[in-house]
Structure 1
Amino acid sequence: MNDAGTPNLGTAQWNEVGRARPHESAVLHVLGQATYTDDIPEIAGTLHAALGLSNRAHARITAIDLEQVAASRGVVAVLLAQDIPGTNDCGPIIHDDPILADGLVQYLGQPVFIVVADSHDNARRAAKLAKVDYEDLPAILTPQAARAAASYVLPPMRLARGDAENAFARAPCRAKGELYVGGQEQFYLEGQIAYAIPGEDRGMHVYCSTQHPSEMQHVVAHALGLHSHHVVVECRRMGGGFGGKESQSALWASAAAIAAARLRRPVKLRADRDDDMLVTGKRHCFHYEYEVGYDREGRIVAAKVDMVTRAGYSADLSGPVATRAVCHFDNTYYLSDVEIRAACGKTNTQSNTAFRGFGGPQGAIAIEYVIDEIARNLGRDPLDIRRLNFYGRLERNVTPYGQTIVDNVIHELVAELEETSDYRARRVAISEYNRTSPVLKKGLAITPVKFGIAFNVTHLNQAGALVHVYVDGSILVNHGGTEMGQGINTKVMQVVAHELGVDLERVRATATNTSKVANTSATAASTGADLNGKAAQDAARKIRDRLAAFAAAQFGGEASEVQFAADTVFVAGREVPFSELVAKAYLARVQLWSDGFYATPGLHWDPKTMNGHPFSYYAYGAAVSEVVVDTLTGEWKLLRADALYDAGNSLNPAIDIGQVEGAFIQGMGWLTTEELWWNPAGKLMTHAPSTYKIPGISDCPEDFRVRLFKNRNAEDSIHRSKAVGEPPLLLPFSVFFAIRDAISAVGGHKVNPPLNAPATCEEILKAVAAVEAAQDA
């Protein structure tokens, strides 16, 4: 008891944050009762739309005949670019991304027209009947070709520190080479979909599977020639997003709304998987040319990298993606003299977009490739070279872009993982295994992660929330984040429950809706729980403070001494049930709802100098992977994976561990099996599950050990937690480098295998052949 006679209920006695709670929709998911956009009951008179797609990569449309389309069974309307009442654009930053092609097609699969029919199947069948004549134009398909042609969607960028040229001249050892890392399809379980319902006075309500309702609101309003207040965009949940529904849901939302506004009837536009993959952008593939100078111990003294990415035909989010790649090239390593160049190659392919990691993985894998090469050149264990180059605590702790690292735990984290994974002993055992195994070769690798958390663009780091406490003591929370399976609603509910001292069962989260919280940022950049959790905490705290003041006035004592815990309010020696206090407060006309707002402090960034403090904090992690490779077939198997991830003071360990596991397998797929392939005509041939290979359950290691590193965020994040969305996707770098290690064993670890990603069986065999050829030379 304290001096006022109130029990001291600290977090040791009661806590709603930090508990391993199930996902708030878990039961609904299992029972098939969770409502996704396609599950919303259709209003009478609902029509269905499909997109007519180009079959050229780059061409002018010389003639288009849509008579058979319009006459097809069930067709109500066919719409072209000239039928758009407002702006024909859905680009998120630069307005170079038409909703419908208008005379010029720039990739194979670009939407040219919208068919609206009485059923989904009738609309799709009709869309295939168009007759279009083209005048073909030269097409650029690869980032290398874009570099050769100086074809860019944005001016190339450069970040430099120190004097790389002089540092190279002084370096005792040098290495140079090139690397290609492919893109990745988001492959969300729920495809792109929008359902637009016209309302009174030109209003439009759009249900959309999107990570960015506010941007969809803006795009739809512009396409219809309306103001934002005419448009409401709502999303209860997505069946996965991974970045593919950040900006590129705009095409589907605007197309559905255009048709609904024209016909004054509800219109649903649902993409089949083939159309989805043909139309939408993916993770950016990267081509690198690198050079590194290092001393005889393996310490990097100079580094240069020139990266070019396949942006696609329009800018989309390629600029910020390339910027993040530049800012993550250092990963966990101090680079004193460095020059980093990046260019966004304009190609006649889908406009690539956000994908979990948003350029960070593509930047960091390049320096890991370099470190791996240095270790092999010196005959050292790669872990020793990595550790030698780690950022320091008090020195060697400033990034190339000028941010001082104040929360570095990579030394302790890697040391813990090295010990718990038995890394050194397994390294010896694998060497012995490889000595007596001529065909099957095992490989082992440990790779670290440092990932900056915040949006590249400072103003996006803000969020709002609403919290309502009802007379019966139940609580409703609405925030600007979107739920795509990652558990943001669960975490925000825990934050609100904790702040008001109630059990989680009292709290419910509602659909993200632009008419409730306005001007929201995308749920992206791993900031969803950080931003929206803080905003919801702010709203709940205002209500708690009002209730505390009311309780003190009613029962005595000081408002500052009133405590809320375990569904009870402790005031002046009394224990008042939360619901009872709320009912009394309502009768006394105390405001029981509030808004909340949060803006991440301390961020600044100069895009011209590429210098500043772009990140609120860093999340750290490391993983050890062991593989076995069949050097005759290129087949391989992940035998064991150990991952240790810094989630700070985790809001929900169960959800966070699940996120790490999922990110690991998704990242492993990107680097090993998920190959995107365009034919010479520019058609994406891997546009279905039959040709595009995401990891299956058999690809997961039987021995999969994931733990959270005990830490507490140095920054004042929500309950000192850390983001868990994107950073763990870098952990399976260890799988890629374990495969490279196994291939290297073919040549006694004397040759650096030229392994590109994804490390498919074909790429593995090419690398094996290269090692054997170098050994024989």
Structure 2
Amino acid sequence: MDETVIQDRGISATFSRVPHSEPPHDGAIKGGVARSVKHDSAPRHVAGEAIYTDDIPELPGTLHLHLAMSAHAHAAILSMDLDAVRQAAGVVRVLTLDDIPGKNDYSPFFGDDPIFPEGLVQYVGQCLFAVAAESREAAFQAALLAKIEYAPLPAVLTVDEALAADLDLLPRHEMRLGDAAAAIDAAPHRLANTLHMGGQDHFYLEGQIAYAIPGEGDDMFVYSSTQHPSEVQHNVAKALGIADHSVTVEVRRMGGGFGGKESQPALMANVAALAARLTGRPAKLRLDRDDDMVMTGKRHDFRIDYAVGFDGDGRILGAEFDQAARCGYSADLSGGITDRAMFHADNAYDLQAARVTSRRMKTHTVSNTAFRGFGGPQGLLATERMMDEIAFGLGLDPFDVRRANYYPAEGGKVTPYHMEVTDSVILEMMDELAESSDYRARRRAIRAFNATSPILKKGIGVTPLKFGISFTTTHLNQAGALVHVYKDGSVHLNHGGTEMGQGLFIKVAQVVAEEFQIDLDRVKITATTTAKVPNTSATAASSGTDLNGMAAKNAAGAIKQRLIAFAAAKYSVPEEQVVFLPNRVRVGNEEIAFPDLVQEAYLNQVSLSAAGFYATPGIHYDRETASGRPFFYFAYGAAISEVVIDTLTGENRLVRADILHDVGRSLNPAIDLGQIEGGFIQGLGWLTTEELWWDKSGRLRTHAPSTYKIPTANDRPDDLRIELWDKGYNKVDSIYRSKAVGEPPLMLAISAFSALTDAVAAAGGYRVFPHLDAPATPERILMAVEDVKTRVRALES
């Protein structure tokens, strides 16, 4: 896969390159690992034939649900009169707290997310009650008839307000490496600053939805758009007061998730299942876009204060980071998210001495939740801003300052959580990218352009990336799979991972095809269901392929070994003389078609079904000492971005981005390139256009595409050059030596934020370092430009 650069009136088209030569297809299987194979659902996506939860034909008698939402950020509920709601046309049942037979909670861990509030609301949009009616419109109209009396209470809405009120939601945490304070005090140069960064809405194309179908006895079947079917299963069982085995949750695909469908879908599934249980009828709950944005969690916004001491070459001698996150009203997954922000405070840099503290602040806003990167982007952003500021203060190239601080390839250096970095390739990658992108000449050309351009200013920014791969909650690093081989040699594959468009299913199918050496179209991909693979972890932490691919490989490998043992015994040859070849098996000097061998094994009573399991080895973290090995390995990436801004309006554009990414030995280069591009653009949205804004009453005002701006196709740079690193190789025993690709590329967009900072600095003649928080919207850029000019005038007066 190689697209050449096409020049058209000075604008370059995309250039993407897969360096690893794919295995020859003549005589080989069609679609094993290391091949660019199209997404299994791609033709159905284009044709409109891909079935999502809302496309499943509704059974006769299906009810539709609407959730009534709180109008207050923090208030006691004095009374709630729902008589008019119950009597409204089309209403079958109104669901309240008193109707829950089990536990009133849909939280992932802490028991602090009530399905319906118990006398207190804690954010605007919190679910008060649900209406089950013959149609969505009837349910919505009926909910408007409720008479609710509140007693408003003081509301804390921002990180800064929560810090001032000393309102911690979860215990604080700290990591230490050496004596950072002493190192900073003794350093020749020092600086300190603060960076605020906003959150981000997931804006998945398919909103939150659940469809519950009651069965006999306690049985409940739930279709849910979720990244975590096992958690939805457990939550539904908990709410209904029944055993987990009575609940089956299934999802074939999601129209996007990005972390927003990890813990959040439990509310929708619980309410739908409760309605189905109480009425005996199927029940569907589908949120519209506005309600979805108001009542579901976001990426955490952060305030990070940093201080650093460094020498004249920009070498960091000590650094301190004080991170504070807005968690919202409940814990959700904030503990793990804020931990990961701490784990990534070093990014790719040997800090020598470091202190990282974290405060997890309670606010009366929606509970923030998982989002692609899971806290890592926030931790990295402050560090990259710090590197830019060091370079600016010393008058050095930001590339060189970063280069002076990378973890060495030979190992021997440890992170602030005392894990040795033994696989660092970032120096080599960054140097390769600087050369291939002609970075230094372009930086000189940008300076020359800015010297003669009074209105438009250009900037260039660089970002290295080291991202830890594994769930930092150790027990989640496990997965299961189920593989059946049928008598005709076709294969049924099921595993605990979920497909949200990222290409997980096709990659795992390629693994199974590779193991059996059969064509990919002989492997049937099936919906994720708790009835086949139990107790699964969420598809998250970029670990979907690592975990489920290994589990599927183990399952297929068990069947393969049975076939080898059978063939060796039947044909009286040593097992090592049974070799799987493309669509056939060589047994001694004879070759047998794979389906024929399978048929023979079946007739001889050989089991052709196996469950596979995989648990990531060697993962541990001790919170008491803030040390351990929370990650199996690191993924690396490098990016250089070029931007232009209009200093009169703040308008800006990313005009070119060069990306070099390490995916190890790619299982599917086409899928990996898509993930890199999509992740980068989503990160660009977080840092430039996607601004969440709550008013003083705690009401989200950016709750629709009209007010919340995700990147469009027009925001993608015309010149976008993406390459998979040709030397990529995973030193640990990952699935075929590949590396995770889902989350890391998002953070490469920090290079665009650095480039915008550089462009704003140019507006002041590079005399002062800009104050620019994220997202760098046109308004913020314009204010930063004016601030820079004002400070320069002050210096000159």
* Fold shared by both chains (TM-score > 0.5): yes
Match of 2:545 among 529, 535, 550: 529
Mark the runs of 5 or more structure 2 residues left unpaired by the alignment. 1-22
The separation in 1 between residues aligned to 2:24 and 2:500, in whole angstroms, is 33
Tell me the secondary structure at the aligned position of residue 488 of structure 2. Answer: coil
The separation in 2 between residues aligned to 1:607 and 1:477, in whole angstroms, is 38
Aligned AA (1:458): T
Task: Compute the displacement of 1:161 (Å).
Answer: 1.2
Aligned AA (2:598): V
Task: Compute the displacement of 1:335 (Å).
Answer: 1.1
Task: Compute the displacement of 1:397 (Å).
Answer: 2.1
The reply on whether 1:712 has 2:712 as its aligned counterpart is: no
Task: Compute the displacement of 1:128 (Å).
Answer: 2.2
Aligned AA (1:337): A
The separation in 2 between residues aligned to 1:299 and 1:748, in whole angstroms, is 25
Equivalent residues in 2 for 1:145-156, closer than 5 Å: 145-156=161-172
Equivalent residues in 2 for 1:702-741, closer than 5 Å: 702-710=718-726, 711-741=728-758
In structure 1, the residue matched to 2:80 is: 64
2:411–2:423: 8 Å Cα contact kept in structure 1?
no
Q: State the Cα deviation string for residues 237-273 of structure 1 (Å, max 9, x = none).
A: 1000000000011111111111111111110000001
Task: Compute the displacement of 1:286 (Å).
Answer: 0.3
Mark the runs of 5 or more structure 1 residues left unpaired by the alignment. 1-8
1:377–1:750: 8 Å Cα contact kept in structure 2?
no
Q: Which shows bigger deviation, 654-663 or 169-178?
A: 169-178
Aligned AA (2:502): Q
Match of 1:103 among 101, 116, 119: 119
1:164–1:304: 8 Å Cα contact kept in structure 2?
yes
Aligned AA (2:507): K
The reply on whether 1:335 has 2:361 as its aligned counterpart is: no
2:418–2:628: 8 Å Cα contact kept in structure 1?
yes
Task: Compute the displacement of 1:405 (Å).
Answer: 1.0
In structure 2, the residue matched to 1:692 is: 708
In structure 2, the residue matched to 1:505 is: 521
In structure 2, the residue matched to 1:761 is: 778
The separation in 1 between residues aligned to 2:738 and 2:95, in whole angstroms, is 49
The separation in 1 between residues aligned to 2:439 and 2:705, in whole angstroms, is 36
Task: Compute the displacement of 1:30 (Å).
Answer: 1.1
2:731–2:737: 8 Å Cα contact kept in structure 1?
yes
1:334–1:396: 8 Å Cα contact kept in structure 2?
no
In structure 2, the residue matched to 1:601 is: 617
Q: State the Cα deviation string for residues 580-631 of structure 1 (Å, max 9, x = none).
A: 1111111111111111000000111112222100000000001111111001
In structure 1, the residue matched to 2:5 is: none
In structure 2, the residue matched to 1:743 is: 760
In structure 2, the residue matched to 1:359 is: 375
The separation in 2 between residues aligned to 1:535 and 1:395, in whole angstroms, is 30
Aligned AA (2:491): I
Change beyond 3 A, Cα 1:396–1:342? same
The separation in 1 between residues aligned to 2:506 and 2:321, in whole angstroms, is 41
Q: State the Cα deviation string for residues 567-592 of structure 1 (Å, max 9, x = none).
A: 11111122211111111111111111
Tell me the secondary structure at the aligned position of residue 696 of structure 2. Answer: coil
Tell me the secondary structure at the aligned position of residue 170 of structure 2. Answer: coil
2:181–2:320: 8 Å Cα contact kept in structure 1?
no
Q: State the Cα deviation string for residues 467-487 of structure 1 (Å, max 9, x = none).
A: 000011110100000000001
Aligned AA (2:232): M
Aligned AA (1:525): A
Task: Compute the displacement of 1:13 (Å).
Answer: 7.4
The separation in 2 between residues aligned to 1:93 and 1:72, in whole angstroms, is 37
Q: State the Cα deviation string for residues 165-188 of structure 1 (Å, max 9, x = none).
A: 211221111111111000000000
1:531–1:599: 8 Å Cα contact kept in structure 2?
yes
TM-score of the superposition, structure 1-length normalised? 0.98
In structure 2, the residue matched to 1:581 is: 597
In structure 2, the residue matched to 1:676 is: 692
Task: Compute the displacement of 1:503 (Å).
Answer: 0.6
Task: Compute the displacement of 1:561 (Å).
Answer: 2.4
The separation in 2 between residues aligned to 1:149 and 1:448, in whole angstroms, is 37
Aligned AA (1:713): N
In structure 1, the residue matched to 2:576 is: 560
Tell me the secondary structure at the aligned position of residue 404 of structure 2. Answer: helix
Q: State the Cα deviation string for residues 297-316 of structure 1 (Å, max 9, x = none).
A: 11111111111111000000
In structure 2, the residue matched to 1:485 is: 501
In structure 2, the residue matched to 1:6 is: none
1:538–1:597: 8 Å Cα contact kept in structure 2?
yes
In structure 2, the residue matched to 1:127 is: 143
The separation in 2 between residues aligned to 1:635 and 1:556, in whole angstroms, is 75
In structure 1, the residue matched to 2:97 is: 81
Equivalent residues in 2 for 1:190-269, closer than 5 Å: 190-269=206-285
Q: State the Cα deviation string for residues 533-564 of structure 1 (Å, max 9, x = none).
A: 00000000011111112222233422222121
The separation in 1 between residues aligned to 2:764 and 2:506, in whole angstroms, is 51
Equivalent residues in 2 for 1:433-472, closer than 5 Å: 433-472=449-488
Q: CA RMSD in A?
A: 1.2
2:177–2:418: 8 Å Cα contact kept in structure 1?
no
In structure 2, the residue matched to 1:172 is: 188
Q: Which shows bigger deviation, 241-250 or 155-164?
A: 155-164
Tell me the secondary structure at the aligned position of residue 202 of structure 1. Answer: coil
The separation in 2 between residues aligned to 1:377 and 1:340, in whole angstroms, is 23
In structure 2, the residue matched to 1:771 is: 788
Task: Compute the displacement of 1:565 (Å).
Answer: 2.3
Task: Compute the displacement of 1:394 (Å).
Answer: 3.1
Aligned AA (2:432): E
Equivalent residues in 2 for 1:602-641, closer than 5 Å: 602-641=618-657
Q: State the Cα deviation string for residues 308-365 of structure 1 (Å, max 9, x = none).
A: 1110000000010000000000000011111111111100000000000000000111
2:200–2:300: 8 Å Cα contact kept in structure 1?
yes
Match of 1:144 among 160, 168, 171: 160
2:412–2:420: 8 Å Cα contact kept in structure 1?
no
Q: State the Cα deviation string for residues 141-194 of structure 1 (Å, max 9, x = none).
A: 001111111112101111111111211221111111111000000000000000
In structure 2, the residue matched to 1:3 is: none
The reply on whether 1:93 has 2:109 as its aligned counterpart is: yes
In structure 1, the residue matched to 2:390 is: 374
Aligned AA (2:444): V
The reply on whether 1:419 has 2:441 as its aligned counterpart is: no
1:466–1:477: 8 Å Cα contact kept in structure 2?
yes
The separation in 2 between residues aligned to 1:109 and 1:625, in whole angstroms, is 38
The separation in 2 between residues aligned to 1:315 and 1:11, in whole angstroms, is 51
Q: State the Cα deviation string for residues 429-453 of structure 1 (Å, max 9, x = none).
A: 1111111101000111111100000
Q: Which shows bigger deviation, 562-571 or 439-448?
A: 562-571
Q: State the Cα deviation string for residues 76-110 of structure 1 (Å, max 9, x = none).
A: 11111111110000111111110111210000000
1:179–1:287: 8 Å Cα contact kept in structure 2?
yes
The separation in 1 between residues aligned to 2:560 and 2:278, in whole angstroms, is 48
The reply on whether 1:475 has 2:491 as its aligned counterpart is: yes
2:411–2:421: 8 Å Cα contact kept in structure 1?
no
The separation in 2 between residues aligned to 1:300 and 1:67, in whole angstroms, is 66
The separation in 2 between residues aligned to 1:119 and 1:403, in whole angstroms, is 56
The separation in 2 between residues aligned to 1:736 and 1:447, in whole angstroms, is 10
The reply on whether 1:543 has 2:568 as its aligned counterpart is: no
Q: State the Cα deviation string for residues 35-94 of structure 1 (Å, max 9, x = none).
A: 111111111111011101000000001111112211222111111111111000011111
The separation in 2 between residues aligned to 1:561 and 1:26, in whole angstroms, is 40
Tell me the secondary structure at the aligned position of residue 424 of structure 1. Answer: helix
2:27–2:582: 8 Å Cα contact kept in structure 1?
no
Aligned AA (1:319): G
The separation in 1 between residues aligned to 2:292 and 2:77, in whole angstroms, is 23
The separation in 2 between residues aligned to 1:396 and 1:591, in whole angstroms, is 48
